[in-house]
Amino acid sequence: MDSDISSTHTNDEERAAELALRPGSLDEFVGQQRVADQLNLLLAAARSRQAPADHVLLSGPPGLGKTTLAIIIATEMNAPIRITSGPAIQHAGDLAAILSTLVEGEILFLDEIHRMSRPAEELLYMAMEDFRVDVIVGKGAGATAIPLELPHFTLVGATTRAGLLPSPLRDRFGFTAQLDFYESSDLSVIVQRSASLLGIEVSQAAIDEIGSRSRGTPRVANRLLRRVRDYAQVHNQGKVDIKEAMAALSMYEVDPVGLDRLDQAVLQAIVQRFNGGPVGVSTLAMAIGEEAETIESLAEPFLVRMGFISRTPRGRIATSAGYAHLGLTPPEHLTKAIELDQGSLFDTPPSNA
C-alpha cells in the first residue's frame, strides 16, 4: 500500500510539474507556428465580434500540446473552461448533464473525442450546430422529447486518431488543426524555457542534447529535463553540462536519436529474433512481453517516422536504416522484400498475426 501511495504522489508531482511548464498564451507557445497563427486569427476575430469562437478540433500524436492549446484558447477568450474526455461520456445523459450546466462563452474541452459513445456523439451534433439538445423524458411509447436551449459555447475536441471521427462530427468544427512533431530547434527553446522556470542552470550543449532526443515531443522534452535535473542533484552537480545530460539519458535508456527501452526492444526483436521480418505485431508483442496496442501506439509510430521499420502487407520489416542504427548490415532477402513491398505499403493493411 505504501508503494501505491508513493506512486500516486510521484504521478501528482509529475502532473504538477507539467502544468507549471505549460505556456499561458499563444505568444509563449513555441512551435506549431502555422497552427498558432491560424488560431490567433480565429480568436482575434471572435473577440472583435464579442462572440464565442467557432468549435475547434485539435488532432495529432500525444504530447504535442493539444490540452495546452485548449487552455490557451480559454485564456485568450477570457472564458472559463470545462475539461472532460471521451471515455468519461458513455451515455447521452452524461453529455446532456455537462452541456446543461455550461455558461455563455464557456470552453468545453473534450479530450480523446474519438472514444465517445455513439449516442452521446449524436447528441453532440445538435448541441454544436443548434445549441440545443432534446432531453428524453419517460420510456417506450410514452417518451417525450423536451428541447433544452444551451448557451453559446465553444467545443475544443482533441484526438490522436482523427480518422475514427465520423464525417458529420468533423464537419461541425469550424477549424481543424493538425499538430506536427516539433523540430529539434523548437524543442531546445522549450527545454531552455522549462529549465528557467524550474530554476535549473543548464548549458546550451545539454539543452540541445535533450531536445534532439525528445522524439519531436515537448512532453518528452520536459520529462527528460526533469530526469537530467534529478541526476545532477544526486551527483551534487551545480550547472548541468553535456556530460551530465548524456550520462543521465544513458541511465534512462534514451539513445542518441531518442529511442527508449521499448523502441529498442521492438527494433532488436525484429532484427535479431525474426531476421528482419516480416513479423506481425501480435507475434512481436509476445516476443518482447508487451501488449500489441502499446507497440502500435507508442513505439511503432516513432520507429516508422525515423525510417527504422516499415509496415507492409505481410508484417513489420526492419529497414536498412534500422539495421544501420544497430550497427548491422541488412541481409539480402530483406532488401528484396522491401523492394517488393514498397509499391503496396498502403494498399493492404499490415498483418497483425
Residue-wise pLDDT for 241-283, tens only, equals 898 899 999 999 898 888 989 999 999 999 988 888 788 889 8
CATH classification of 31-178, choosing from 3.40.50.300, 3.40.50.1000, 2.60.120.560, 3.40.190.10? 3.40.50.300
> In the Cβ-directed half-sphere of 117, how many Cα atoms lie within 13 Å?
12
State the Cα–Cα distance between residues 301 and 74, nearest whole angstrom: 31
35-36-37-42 Cα dihedral, nearest 10 degrees: 90
For residue range 10-44, list pLDDT tens digits in order: 455 556 666 677 888 888 888 889 999 999 999 99
Range(s) of the chain covered by CATH 3.40.50.300: 31-178
**Residue 155 pLDDT grade (very low, low, confident, very high; cuts 50, 70, 90):** very high
- Which of 326, 310, 238, 325 has its CA nearest to residue 277? 310
State the Cα–Cα distance between residues 7 and 300, nearest whole angstrom: 27
Whole-number pLDDT of residue 352? 56
Range(s) of the chain covered by CATH 1.10.8.60: 184-251
Range(s) of the chain covered by CATH 1.10.10.10: 261-344
Residues in CB range of 19: below 8 A, 6 or more apart: none
Active-site residues: which are they? 66-67, 111, 160, 219
Residues in CB range of 93: below 8 A, 6 or more apart: none
Query: What whole-number percentage of the chain has pLDDT above 90?
Result: 33
- CATH code of the domain occupying 184-251: 1.10.8.60
Q: What share of the chain is helix, strand, coil (3-state, %, to 5)?
A: 55, 15, 35
Residue 86 and residue 162 in contact, taking contact as beta carbons nearer than 8 Å = no
Measure Cα distances from 153 to 103, 282, 289, 293 in Å. Answer: 7, 43, 46, 35
- Which of 218, 220, 228, 236 has its CA nearest to residue 198? 228
Angle at which helices 218-234 and 2-21 cross, to 10°: 120
* CATH architecture for residues 261-344: Orthogonal Bundle (1.10)
